[in-house]
Amino acid sequence: MLNTDAQDRIVWRSREGTDMEYSTYVVWDDIRQVPDQVPWACIVWFPQAIPRHSFLMWLLVCKKLKTQDMMCKWRSAGNANYNLMCCSLCTSGPDSHDHLFFECEFASQIWYGVREKSGMRSIENTWEKILNHLLQHADSKQATHIIGKLVVGASAYFVWQERNNRLFSSKKRNAAQLIEVILMTVRMKLHTMKFRRTSHVNQVLLEWRLPRDLLMDQDKCG
């Protein structure tokens, strides 16, 4: 029997047979194919991440940055002489993902200048070793591991920015200046976060020169 007093509404019946209030989000989420989550997802996208750094990290992990070694494969396009390309940071040859992050002589100075602050003092300047370390702690909520992801993301972002600045403008910063910018950026981000009150976190705050009012009592941590 029809209920003439009730207002009509649109309902979406899901693949599982559940009636849900209709919306484009509900429909799309129900009909789309959902792939398995990639193991590096929590390295790129995590609550404390800096969005522009996450986007660059996503391209880096997928090896989708337009580095010179990739451009050298486009020899059929135009009359450009790709053999003349060289890394704008060290001028030792064409740049690549592995070269820029962080095997380049200039980029390696950046990595060795920030790795201790990221809790990766023993990790060498190769993307494979850095990525493997991050993957081992991808889901960790420990302050050092979150800071490690922030430092790597900031380092990659500013090395790529410096590379482009030198290619397309006369702007140039030395390694010490870039290290300072990276650490300052991460420190500013840490100022927006709250930390559990532990002896480990106390050491982190001291190392990053952060105020103790960023600490939360255990009963407020949820």
Q: Long-range contact list for 157-162, CB < 8 A, 24+ apart?
A: 157/50, 157/52, 157/53, 157/56, 157/57, 158/110, 158/182, 158/185, 159/89, 159/100, 159/101, 159/102, 159/107, 159/110, 160/56, 160/60, 160/65, 160/100, 162/89
SS3 9: coil
Taking residues 197-216, report their average pLDDT. Answer: 88
**Mind listing the pLDDT tens digit for each residue in 23-41?**
898 888 888 877 778 999 9
Domain locations along the chain = 41-72+86-190
Q: pTM of the entire structure?
A: 0.82
Does the pLDDT at position 121 exceed 70?
yes
Integer Cα distance of 108 and 201 in angstroms:
28
